[in-house]
Structure formats: C-alpha cells, structure tokens
Structure 1
C-alpha cells in the first residue's frame, strides 16, 4: 500500500510526533513534511524553528510534527542547532536530562544516531554534571560509547513511554559514499544506483559492528522499539546524494572548484529522493506493525 498523507494526518490527530537525531534524520523529517503538505490547506499549517527544536503544525488536525537536534542523543559539544561541527566532539556520560525534557509527551518518537560516531576511533566522555565541557574527560572506544548512550535512551524510554499510548522507532545508519570502496571513488558524477547484478556482492562502508550494537541494545528494551532499517537500500543509492548542489559552510576554494569531487557532499541526500523511501518504511511500521519482521 502506497504512502497515504490523509491517513497519516488522521493517525496524528491530536498527537505529537517527534524526530530526534542528526541532519540525516532531519532530512527524513523534511521529506515527511513535503509528503504531507499537499493534504493540508495553506491556512491550516505553520512552521517555526527555535534553537534545536523545529515545529510543524497541522492546525485542523491539532497535530504537530517536530524535529529536535541531538546528533549523538546524549548531551554533547555539538548540540547547538546552527553552530555544530564534527571535530572535537565531547559527550556527557551523565543522564540526558537536557535533551529528554523535550521528548516527554510525544506520541510517536523517531530516533537516529550514527554518523557523528564515525569520525575517529575514540569518543571523548565528560564525567559528572559540571557545565565545563573541557575537564574531567576520558576516552572510550566509539562502539562502547555508542552502546552506553543507546542504553541511556532505552532506559529513558522504559521510564517515560507507555507502549499502550505511544510508539517508538529507531532509524538505522544512513550510509555515505564519500570515498573508495567497491563504489569506486566517491559519489561525484554517479548517475545510477549500484546495478542489480552487482548488488549482492556490493558492500558499503557502513559499520556492521555499530549496527550490531544498536540491534542488541534496542532488542533488550522492555518497551518495543520499531527498527526502521534503511541502511542496505540506501547503500545501493550512490547516485542520490546532493554532491555539489548543497549550500556549503563556505564557498569552495579555487582548487576545490577546479576539482568538484574534492568537496562533493556524499553524505546528505537529494529531496525528493531516498529519504522519501525511508518514510515509506516508517509508514508501513506505523500502520502495519504486525508485519514488522518482514520489513
């Protein structure tokens, strides 16, 4: 059954849907708004963004669809909604109270976190509740830090979500095509997906170990967490990134402009495009939960 915007809006009547994660999940969020907007009269919808929180309102349905920027889910040095960079990431090892106060009361929660864990072997952890993000720092292997944070998220879900009234989902890793591998080069100039004949033998760059950690932690949750597995299907879409058509933090230098491959964005996706397919999967999990194992 194809995505039905009217059905989604009716399901969300009087409810709050919240996406929590990084810029890849924000792309899925924006995709969902695009899929829904034609079913809502212009006078009956609004959008606002304040700091890390973006809110879309479907007024006739008394519904909100929101996005909260928390790229590592735990509190981190990259939590500013506009000024955030991958380098020098520090996360707080204490409970995630700063973020989770925005999550309370959501009827549908959609989490993701992967990309920001994959730029280096170690993650810096700030211990304790001190506001100074520059002291009492220890290093932890990325996989184990990821496990620690996902355990915290699950613990929060178990204490704050009533599965009779709310749904929780986790979107798996959005792959990049930034370098090498069997795709050959990066995504620049790619105009077609990995061919069907090559798909079985093609292996992307996504960390299987990180996917395993997420699967293990989420499966142990006492509150069901629906896993929206976007990873493999997206790995095959090396052609679907924004490449050189994304607004950059800064204008490309002359040497970059002479070699577009050097600054092509092979992480984020074009809209409409791959994130629309992610929302198709989410739609099926929302409306046909009994078929979860088949998706």
Structure 2
C-alpha cells in the first residue's frame, strides 16, 4: 500500500477529482481521435473522419458527435484492461486494490447516438504514435487519462521493450522502444506557473498563480506531436491571488482577482503561447472539458450532505446535468478556442462533461478510505 507521503491529492478543503471508472473511456476517445485523425468542424462540436478508418456511421448521418450518446452495459468486451494486470497502474486509480468490491462500473461502454466508436486497437495506436510524442498536460484528471492510455497499450508491448522514466520532476515519460513512441504526462494543474507546480508538494492553502507566465512549463512540451490539455478544478475558489513578477522578486505585485477573470487571463496566456510556438503542420491540439464532482447526493434524490461514496449505479436520466461544473468557465474555454480557430489554429474540444455526469458511481474514494484520510471535504 502506498505511504501517505506519496499521495498527490489535488488540493485540501475541496473536492479531489480522482476517477477510476471512466478514465479508460476518455483515453479511448483520445485514442480514437489520434488513430482516426478525427477533427472538429465549427458546427456544434461535431466530429468528422479524415482517413479511411471510418467511424461506424448509422443511417444517412455524415457527421457524428462522439459525446452525445449513452452508456451501454458490455461485460463481454469490457473492461479493455484490468488494473491488476497493468504494470504501470497508479495506486490513486486502483479502486479494486483499495477495497472496491462492486466492479460492474468497469463494464459500461460509451455508445454515441449516430455512430460507433471503433474497437480499441493498441497496435494501430502505437503505429500512429511511431516516432511521435503524445503529452498530457494538466492536473490529476489528465494524469488519470495518461495512466489509462499507458495501461491500454501495456499488453501490446513486449516485456523489456517499454520503459517508464520519472525522476521526481513534473514530467513523467512512458516509452515504447520498438516504436520510438513517447506517451508523457506533465504536471501543470493551472497550465500557467503557480506555487502548486511541484508534482508532490502542492497542497498549499494560499494558491498563487503567475497568470501571464507559462514558459517554464511550455518548454517541456514545445516539440510534442500531440498535446492534450486540461485545467479546471484548481481554479474553483472565489478569488485567485495573481502575481506580477517572479516568486523570488522583492518588488513583485500580488492582487486578488475574481476566479473567472483569472481563469480567462491564464487561458489567454496559454492561447498566445500556442499561436506563436505550435507547428501547425505537425501538432494536434486537444482540450479536455471539465469533469463533474458528484459531491451533492441530493441532486440524484439522496440525503442532503451525502456524496458519491458507495454509489453502485449510474444516473440514467438522459441529459442530466449536476451542479458540480461551472458553465461560465467552460464558456471561457470555448471562447478561447474559437479565437484560436479564427486565427488559424485548431484545438479540438474533448467534451467529457455530460458523459461523466451520468457516472456518479465512478469517482474513487477507496484509497483515502483505506488510509483513514477520508472526510467530507476531500472525498473524490
């Protein structure tokens, strides 16, 4: 069992968003986007296929919104991997290891309304990633997708032909040697620089961001072929302390800024960096939408004050939306991506919010419970 000091929870006094039921689904969607060279049109976030590996279209539909659909129980082909069989599984995502007995959550498959997601093919993904670098950048949500992507590929790579490198820095690298392919995760929970950038020691009560500084992070993924970004939960407080100047400067200026405004400032810095530095003929760009928290059981008819712990069934009401997400933050993301689109840079949105909202039985509280650290404020 992991020691307490090895945990990297997102932050104290609010919600931890560590998932173990559908991180593989999101990684699968990323894989489909990468393998199929799928791109977004400007119409309502629809997805269209570029090459001859077609999505299974239904009827006369020419476009398919991968994120509009339903969960279908499939105990024949799912799960795509088992946590105990993955060499690189993280304790923070190992629900079964830390006491979860009901494993039905692993057998649900996402089914888009108007097309079929192709069956995951690890070899096809590795071929697509040959001589390439895929980097997930963000917080624990993207770290979970990175772990799941690695687990999806693990069995397809011979022992001794894969390598994990983690020297304690913000960058962790998995390499498939025969393909010269790297799948990496870079810890930057606010994308821009902050005092929470240490990959282990980031539980700080007074969060400070340099909303106009990103180069310290960005230099680690400038040459990536595929970049998957996310940032959301770490901004969820009424105000953020924004720093102008460096952390070590004696004349630095600090100012408390409204959360939405500081988030907008950070995404402006991020988008400006992309516009200047990204190789548009080489790099595919994705942004992961916000993940719901499922911290209010009354939203699905349970007692006030409860949360998702011990939930074993998903929400079946089509179109259900909980209050664990902030639409205004998502509007800022969409506006930023639209501006980049108008400037000739395409960032594809991976809209996981709705499909995740149904999965109240998905969040993992089991590691904290096993270690005696569970409480009502740090519960996912």
Interval containing the TM-score (normalised by the shorter chain): 0.7 to 0.9
Please say if 1:97 is aligned against 2:215: yes
Please say if 1:31 is aligned against 2:148: yes
- Distance, in Å, in 1 between the alignment partners of 2:248 and 2:329 is 29
Give 1 or 2: higher helix fraction.
Answer: 1
Partners of 1:177 and 1:205 within 8 A in 2 = yes
1:138 to 237, 241, 255: 255
- 1:227-276: CA deviations, max 9, x gaps? 10001110110001112x1257x9437xx6xxxx737732xxxxxxxxxx
| Alpha-carbon offset, residue 130 of structure 1 | 4.7
* TM-score relative to the length of structure 1: 0.81
| Alpha-carbon offset, residue 202 of structure 1 | 4.4
- 1:4-25: CA deviations, max 9, x gaps? 2111111110011111100111
Higher relative contact order by CA 8 Å / sep ≥ 6: 1 or 2?
2
Does the residue aligned with 2:149 lie in a helix, a strand or coil?
helix
Partners of 2:294 and 2:322 within 8 A in 1 = no
- Distance, in Å, in 1 between the alignment partners of 2:209 and 2:193 is 6
Please say if 1:147 is aligned against 2:264: yes
Q: CA RMSD in A?
A: 2.1
Could you say which residue in structure 2 is the equivalent of 1:169?
286
- Distance, in Å, in 2 between the alignment partners of 1:169 and 1:209 is 20
Please say if 1:59 is aligned against 2:177: yes
1:83 to 196, 201, 207: 201
Count how many residue pairs are aligned between Structure 1 and Structure 2. Answer: 255
- 1:131-159: CA deviations, max 9, x gaps? 25995210111111111111111111111
Could you say which residue in structure 2 is the equivalent of 1:217?
336
* TM-score relative to the length of structure 2: 0.63
- Distance, in Å, in 1 between the alignment partners of 2:329 and 2:272 is 19
- Distance, in Å, in 2 between the alignment partners of 1:128 and 1:210 is 26
| Alpha-carbon offset, residue 189 of structure 1 | 1.5
Could you say which residue in structure 1 is the equivalent of 2:275?
158
Question: Which runs of at least 4 in structure 1 moved beyond 6 Å after TM superposition?
Answer: none
- Distance, in Å, in 2 between the alignment partners of 1:86 and 1:200 is 36
Partners of 2:208 and 2:242 within 8 A in 1 = yes
- Distance, in Å, in 2 between the alignment partners of 1:64 and 1:75 is 24
